[in-house]
Structure 1
């Protein structure tokens, strides 16, 4: 079923984003009946990376967290199952604290974040949720003792702060987030790895015969982005190869790349290889610098 493809994508995706900030365990088994937590996150003691890069998801990661992403709208029973997992984790922490004769700090107990693509007013009302001051629309908290929030991804505002959660949405919400992801600067620390996970999701969905309409639309939306990304990667590879050729030729002819020779590399690369190669082989150092030195 495609749901399992999406489940694995969500786990891999959250692990990729959160691993710079702490310990991430996916499919973590807990005691009692055989249950698994989708993602259990424990922040590093000394946080050295910038959590603000992850926006709203970064706020979730300020403290220990259980993240339960759903491909389809989470039902009341499924949310109750998530709360049960949280309570079992809390009970285990209390037992460990008692055995070690230490006091369990409230901040050491994970908070549960149920990530649902949609959430109906009826479902939210059934959990008597509330919205807290200082939090974005779409984040609904249960009573404080339950340490739980339901995140209705479709209600999150379309701003950079919510991008990393909207990628786990459905339909137009997810598609728009992927477009925004692709538009991020190429040096963004999470852009490349996330795009690769999204493209892997595309490939895994393509091998399934019985796709839902959302999945077919997702594949169609990803296809031009995927082709564009692969073409760009191909061009970057060609450019890198040409740069290595120029650097090697200069080093072979003149022994080393000093400041003056390094400065002519970019102007040389403006020419096609069939033009710059004979020039690099024929012209003297002084001639090369005179020809290309003023173009950088």
Structure 2
């Protein structure tokens, strides 16, 4: 359980980032009746949106109202039942709302449930009576009988094509590693690539701070490390360039100081996300060190270690 939350949060933020151009996205939406949450609730935009084509299979899922429930580990029968229970609570709530307004809900208006799991055993699929529809859908998608409006997406069985890339990023082990390599190979100015990598960097930082990592999480950190270091180098270079530009206008000495400050600020943002007040409080003490020293510390030390060392 210790490693599930970072992946859970990554999956929600990742899906929200990808789906927002297509419609309204809510994460951790409360379900009526009891304290439970839907991971990702999606309502497509009423206007025609061709952006869904860039998301391939995920974009196809998003052409209709949808609930996405991503899992880091293989989904269990109990978890499938829990997801479907939340779906039925949503249906009941929508029907109550329609009754109060003297209207009717069409079946097509009810959201589909997409359960995203890295793997799915034949035993689970058979027990759920989940079957593929290879005439209309890719391998790896198993539909529970029609009126339940639910499908289990076994990510490891999806064909490794551009159409499935954005779903395979949520896979595990070799499936996820291959998808990350394909993501990196996309054009550097691709906004989906940029945003997905930023979320993966944040996931890496979160995982690195966890002392109870399993072997797959350690492998994921190693896979992301070269990319992460490239991102840090880019932040350093960007800070220096901005400092030099400002230095031309404000004086060389002040420009160098500003450049060093931007380097520190950029590296703190890349490593720890939002630059909050606590992190801002250690910028001045860091700047008292030579650049090679504060750069090394910013790469090697955790947030808590930095605060303990430099907080006054």
Give TM-score scaled by structure 1 length.
0.79
Displacement of 1:134 after TM fit? 2.0
Please name the residue that 1:113 is paired with: 114
Please name the residue that 2:153 is paired with: 151
Please name the residue that 2:300 is paired with: none
Please name the residue that 2:8 is paired with: 7
Residues 155 and 168 in structure 2, CA contact (< 8 A), matched pair in contact too: yes
Please name the residue that 1:261 is paired with: none
Displacement of 1:229 after TM fit? 3.1
Equivalent position to 1:214, from 197, 204, 216? 216
User: Residues of 2 paired with 1:55 and 1:241: CA distance?
Assistant: 41
Q: Helix, strand or coil: the match of 2:142?
A: strand
Q: Helix, strand or coil: the match of 1:73?
A: coil
Please name the residue that 1:52 is paired with: 53
Please name the residue that 1:205 is paired with: 207
Which deviates more, 32-41 or 221-230?
221-230
Q: Helix, strand or coil: the match of 2:116?
A: strand
Displacement of 1:243 after TM fit? 8.3
Residues 71 and 117 in structure 1, CA contact (< 8 A), matched pair in contact too: yes
Deviations 1:106-138 (A, max 9, x none): 221000000000000111111111211221110
Please name the residue that 1:169 is paired with: 171
Residues 70 and 116 in structure 2, CA contact (< 8 A), matched pair in contact too: yes
Unaligned runs of 5+ in 2: 249-312
User: Residues of 2 paired with 1:240 and 1:186: CA distance?
Assistant: 21
User: Residues of 2 paired with 1:58 and 1:227: CA distance?
Assistant: 31
Q: 1:135 to 1:238 in 2, by over 3 A?
A: farther
Displacement of 1:236 after TM fit? 5.8
Q: How many residues align?
A: 248
Displacement of 1:33 after TM fit? 2.4
Residues 21 and 51 in structure 2, CA contact (< 8 A), matched pair in contact too: no
User: Residues of 2 paired with 1:209 and 1:238: CA distance?
Assistant: 34
Please name the residue that 1:31 is paired with: 32
User: Residues of 2 paired with 1:156 and 1:57: CA distance?
Assistant: 12
Q: Helix, strand or coil: the match of 2:189?
A: coil
Unaligned runs of 5+ in 1: 247-296
Displacement of 1:35 after TM fit? 1.1
Equivalent position to 2:184, from 165, 174, 182? 182
Residues 20 and 49 in structure 1, CA contact (< 8 A), matched pair in contact too: no
